[in-house]
Amino acid sequence: FFFQAEDGIRDRDVTGVQTCALPIYMKITPTGGALGADISGLDVRGTLAPATQARLRKAFHEHSLLRLRGQQLTREDLVRFSAGFGEPVVHPTNHRDRDPQNPLITIISNIEEDGRALGALGNAELKFHADLVFLHTPGSVSILYCVECPSRGGDTYWSNAYRAYDTLDASVRER
């Protein structure tokens, strides 16, 4: 999923779907690294209460990366959860690897059927990049949902440009 927002992350209230009463408890645990926090006690199926979504957005802004492990999501769940961080956009250049049931989802996979890759990247590592920076309004959030994780490899790395900037010498920052 890729998101675009003119003025940062938009606050939206999704209506028309029953608000999920659970969880009563959600824990945010910083990873201790340069970025990231683990979210536990949260089932993101269904529509999240506005206060829960606001807490997630706040955690995202504070930690730049959120990990929610053990989720079992449908395509609809994934789109609904993602919309809490901004308006999802269809990837503007990758037409081949869009989910046939929902073009907002880009499939990344190393699985092949009948000699055809089922998604983007295959077994290749993608070099360092930032999603959708070529757009007039660059993407503000990317969401990855892992369906099947390899026993080895398949690593995804994230960086924190805020932390990198903050640790520069003052003279370098002033240039």
Residue 165: CB atoms within 10 A of its CB come to: 10
- Among the listed ranges 26-35, 89-98, 125-134, which one has the minimum average pLDDT value? 125-134
Q: What integer is the mean pLDDT of 53-69?
A: 93
Taking residues 56-67, report their average pLDDT. Answer: 94
pLDDT higher for 43 or 111? 43
Ramachandran bin of 141, using left for φ above 0, alpha for ψ from -120 to 50, beta for the remaining angles: beta
Segment 35-53 shows an average pLDDT of 92
pLDDT band (50, 70, 90) for residue 125 = low
pLDDT mean over 64-76: 93
Q: Mark 71-98 as b/e (b = at least 16 C-beta within 10 Å).
A: eebeeebbbbbbbbbbebbebeeeeebb
Closest C-alpha among 81, 89, 87 to residue 52:
81
For residue 88, whether the previous peptide bond is cis, meaning omega lies within 30 degrees of 0, is no
Determine the 3-state secondary structure of 175 from DSSP.
coil
Q: Is the pLDDT of residue 96 over 90?
A: no
Beta bridge partners of 112: 117
Say whether pLDDT at 12 is over 60.
no
Q: What is the mean pLDDT of the segment spanning 110-118? A: 82
DSSP H or E segment with residue 94: none
- pTM of full prediction above 0.95: no
Confidence bin at 13 (pLDDT 50/70/90): very low
